[in-house]
Structure 1
């Protein structure tokens, strides 16, 4: 069974139980208890279905050795009774050797199964945790848009689903599954031991089992509450981790030292940590104050374990062998009243499973793309497009009307925050307009095969991605469906003005572009900008018919900026190009320039036309010209 199908079945069962409870809201206290127990049973069964992610051999092996352990404890109780009885009857070990062999065999079986269980638990939980992380990546990458990646709820659930716990002991979805298997084995062992005890002392067996299970339920309820408190405070954990990264990570290292912020950042990290942990500490103090009942039940059950069989033996109800059997069986039953590490694994790991379930229910992968395929070089039209980010009242775009014509070099200018980058995301289908529509060749982009559409455009984002890979891959990944042949990669680098860079790198195109490793190299901002421009040119050479440059000269020097239009824009041939830049000297030769302000296009035309109109573009261009003239004179 595929992981997605298994996961869907598990979640459907739990969801169905919740729906049943919601449809029957008016029920008695008994009904509430019964439905709660039923919901827990369904949830626990759903956990066991995760075993499919661990493979048949390991999963069946874990279930098998757990079954052996479940039967080993009552077997040792019977074997201990036989051994003691044989010793008592024969007044020595000679006649008790067969019973001794059975007892030692039971102990060896128990210890061997216990060792195998620990190994298999590690293998199974590791495989399941890997499957959970893989599924989170699939859910994050599946939607055609990216809005969910900035949602607080999505990020919190993704963090929780992949969280490995707060302590030295891993407590994740995988450990929740293996803990459930372990606890089912312990419960089976307890019931079997209670049956053995009931053969001699039925009343003690029933009372002891009931008291221990009641005590266990009370203790577990307290810890489940604590885990719930910790889950609600996960936002504080994320803040603490952020300040830890700022304090110790390389990204902020320069500013932290330059401005002397180390003490301030450490104080902020400590304050966030204390704010986050204070909630947990308060919950723990409350649990400690509730321990009177559990201590009393534990003491009462312990007295029953020791006194009950002893009184029966004194009264002649039990002989020596039967007394030993009852003591060992009673101790096995009594032990279920304790809280095991696996109980905490289960309680904490269930939070990760529930977070994954919420993501599954709210971010299911879309059906296979069946939209319309548009031909290359189609007209793109923003028709009365408005857009607001989720939770924001301000419109980033407000009734935008804009055409991107085939083979045209279009420049978009405007102040920061006017929606230029948002326009790119709408163009790529990464967001859907709040109102209006974006059409490609007359077809609404929402009805277009988005994957096919994205194979026709490429974007150089202002905050571009620096892949920790070779120079060759950093260029060729713009068109991953084509082989990264060296000739095409070198040509793109040459056209982007980065040809000399290749000759300075120790391994040429094979040089890893990251700091780690002896042969790794990082690049300057300008060098990276040239590599990313080469990435776009490589994509155009392999079929992309629309290329978008978002602030393409931000990290280039004056000479490279001056050459950008002549060198790069001409290199894209008859493909359409959209240039977004604050540096107007870069885009003055564009076929058409539009000025974006307040979410609308307020001016449109060629550079000369806009200068004659003496509007917003002309004002901004003259301000930049005066600035550069002043700098040139000063130098």
Structure 2
């Protein structure tokens, strides 16, 4: 049971939230540009007033019908003037209506363009990966993206709906003035209070429903995943082969109902009794005004002209207390993604104190000349979590090939993320020829690095873009793109495509082709090599041959090392297969987040340490597999 003091406080908070929403919408509206914003506002004001003009003109015309009938010389000039006003108001209203939709669409698209730009900036540039990959922020990011996936109304639609709502209020104001003119200020006040009471009640119920909707974000995310799983192509083969359709269908229904059932229950709870109460308010208010109109008409105080005006005006005020399909849902739900975006931006700003936050700097990144060094670098993905890297010291000579090997979970990929400045060390520093990378602009340093991650992207785009996006300024340089493909061993792959570089690398498009895992890895490598051609001086390959067999991997590294050595590229190769990096200039063994040993292949084998042990174990396994294959093919 709420105390008397709590109820007013909650009421004030609700008013502030509601006012804040309108302020936010008004703040977004100018993003559409001054001409579109002003044009939309003025047009909707005119469209809001025109119905009142039409009511007055038609009532005047009808009021003079008896006089027109008695006239022997035809319709007087005043009749034509009034008729012209009636037809003019009707025609102008219908002429302007399409422009109302056009301006609303223009405002919506321009505001959405602004918001999408902010979302791209925060997710692709500003927000550290510690924010984007934090599970507690997944719902927030999902909400920020939802509108632009057209799952809910967009911020642009909310901004475009504000002038449409203004038209409704102008129409109400005109009708109230007419009621006051025909009856009295008291009747106008009753009509106004009744209309606004019902209106605010309807919006209040919608606001409470919206809060219920917001609380079910996680359910919607799970339902969306199951819907994509059930209807997409990614899992279709496995679902068919394992006969998973009954399970997928049942799980999809379960997740869908777990989100819909609370909405249905809440909707009944939130809307039934408020609907009864608001209907009662509307009945009492409307009956009062109509009763006053009937009373004054029976007493001869209201003429036929005024009766026509009054009836139509009262009906407008009574119809005001409903939900407006063109603006209510849009203004209530359209800001959900915008508010999620603002919270994401605030998270981005607050995370400036986070140890993984990339410092803001405009200083240019140094060109590596001699040495890239990790000095006592430690890192953990979450505060209090075990360290993935723990006091790691590592030197990467410029112009040489450094291979970093170790078992899964040793911290190799994390090391790449730190080198690429996707994360910042929890402790320690990374230097380039003595310059601390933390003092340099992150994007400037990232332009000096070309990286192939384990989970490299397979763009459903033509082969030209799949390779050319490594250096966008070389995208139209076909010679450079083909040279990168040749260097990566992907020349034959490109030549085998039906339209060469113009062939889409996806079967989802006419004439498209898909590639094998090994072919995709060579395309990804070509993308990285084009980045080197475009100005990057450090090439990092994170498990670049995981899709290749052992022989293919050995050939790949032999070709790559020859190419990189000839160009003087600083290369860092991450691998869990020890045998394939034996020709690297330097091999570093990482285990438990530290450098365990380092040297050339020959020196590490002579030392008989961890590298030699694991190398021999893997070599024996591959030898046994090779012998088994020979036995199987022997007649």
Relative to structure 1, the CA distance from residue 426 to residue 63 in structure 2 (aligned partners, 3 Å threshold; closer, same or farther) is same
Per-residue CA deviation, residues 5-53 of structure 1 (Å, 9 max, x unaligned), is xxxxxxxxxxxxxxxxxxxxxx998798678656644542442343333
Which SS does the other structure have where 1:102 is aligned?
helix
Q: Counterparts of 1:451 and 1:36 in 2: how far apart (Å)?
A: 43
Q: Counterparts of 1:609 and 1:203 in 2: how far apart (Å)?
A: 100
Q: Counterparts of 1:131 and 1:222 in 2: how far apart (Å)?
A: 30
Contact map agreement 1:179 1:345 (CA 8 A) in 2:
yes
User: Partner residue of 1:4?
Assistant: none
User: Partner residue of 2:57?
Assistant: 79
Which SS does the other structure have where 2:513 is aligned?
coil
Tell me the CA shift for residue 154 of structure 1: 5.1
1:269 aligns with 2:242: no
* Unaligned segments of structure 2, at least 5 residues: 353-357, 630-635
User: Partner residue of 1:561?
Assistant: 553
Tell me the CA shift for residue 378 of structure 1: 4.2
Q: CA RMSD for the aligned pairs?
A: 2.8
1:324 aligns with 2:318: no
1:104 aligns with 2:82: no
Aligned with 1:621 (options 615, 627, 635) = 615
1:359 aligns with 2:344: yes
Q: Counterparts of 1:198 and 1:634 in 2: how far apart (Å)?
A: 99
Aligned with 1:597 (options 578, 591, 611) = 591
Tell me the CA shift for residue 605 of structure 1: 2.4
1:193 aligns with 2:175: yes
Which SS does the other structure have where 2:169 is aligned?
helix
User: Partner residue of 2:633?
Assistant: none
Q: Counterparts of 2:399 and 2:522 in 1: how far apart (Å)?
A: 23
1:334 aligns with 2:312: no
Deviating more after overlay: 546-555 vs 139-148: 139-148
Which SS does the other structure have where 1:242 is aligned?
helix
Contact map agreement 1:67 1:185 (CA 8 A) in 2:
yes
User: Partner residue of 2:156?
Assistant: 174
Deviating more after overlay: 371-380 vs 439-448: 371-380
Which SS does the other structure have where 2:583 is aligned?
coil
Q: Counterparts of 1:620 and 1:345 in 2: how far apart (Å)?
A: 62
Aligned length: 608
Q: Counterparts of 1:167 and 1:509 in 2: how far apart (Å)?
A: 33
Relative to structure 1, the CA distance from residue 251 to residue 172 in structure 2 (aligned partners, 3 Å threshold; closer, same or farther) is same
Q: Counterparts of 2:360 and 2:437 in 1: how far apart (Å)?
A: 16
- Give matches, 1:389-400, under 5 Å: 389-390=381-382, 393-400=385-392
Contact map agreement 2:144 2:337 (CA 8 A) in 1:
yes
Relative to the length of structure 1, the TM-score reads: 0.88
User: Partner residue of 1:48?
Assistant: 26
Relative to structure 1, the CA distance from residue 360 to residue 549 in structure 2 (aligned partners, 3 Å threshold; closer, same or farther) is closer
1:423 aligns with 2:415: yes
1:115 aligns with 2:98: yes
* Unaligned segments of structure 1, at least 5 residues: 1-26
1:375 aligns with 2:357: no
Q: Counterparts of 1:99 and 1:56 in 2: how far apart (Å)?
A: 36
Q: Counterparts of 2:21 and 2:70 in 1: how far apart (Å)?
A: 53
1:533 aligns with 2:525: yes
Deviating more after overlay: 247-256 vs 155-164: 155-164
Which SS does the other structure have where 2:541 is aligned?
strand
Q: Counterparts of 1:631 and 1:157 in 2: how far apart (Å)?
A: 49
Relative to structure 1, the CA distance from residue 36 to residue 251 in structure 2 (aligned partners, 3 Å threshold; closer, same or farther) is closer
Contact map agreement 1:498 1:527 (CA 8 A) in 2:
yes
Contact map agreement 1:397 1:419 (CA 8 A) in 2:
yes
Tell me the CA shift for residue 164 of structure 1: 4.1
Q: Counterparts of 1:172 and 1:533 in 2: how far apart (Å)?
A: 39
1:487 aligns with 2:479: yes
Contact map agreement 2:430 2:437 (CA 8 A) in 1:
yes
Relative to the length of structure 2, the TM-score reads: 0.88
User: Partner residue of 1:237?
Assistant: 220
Q: Counterparts of 1:477 and 1:233 in 2: how far apart (Å)?
A: 38
Contact map agreement 2:213 2:263 (CA 8 A) in 1:
yes
Contact map agreement 1:136 1:158 (CA 8 A) in 2:
no
Per-residue CA deviation, residues 147-170 of structure 1 (Å, 9 max, x unaligned), is 3332346553444344349999x6
- Give matches, 1:122-141, under 5 Å: 122-141=105-124
Q: Counterparts of 1:629 and 1:361 in 2: how far apart (Å)?
A: 56
Q: Counterparts of 1:205 and 1:475 in 2: how far apart (Å)?
A: 70
Q: Counterparts of 1:139 and 1:241 in 2: how far apart (Å)?
A: 23
Tell me the CA shift for residue 571 of structure 1: 0.5
Which SS does the other structure have where 2:335 is aligned?
helix
Relative to structure 1, the CA distance from residue 262 to residue 490 in structure 2 (aligned partners, 3 Å threshold; closer, same or farther) is same
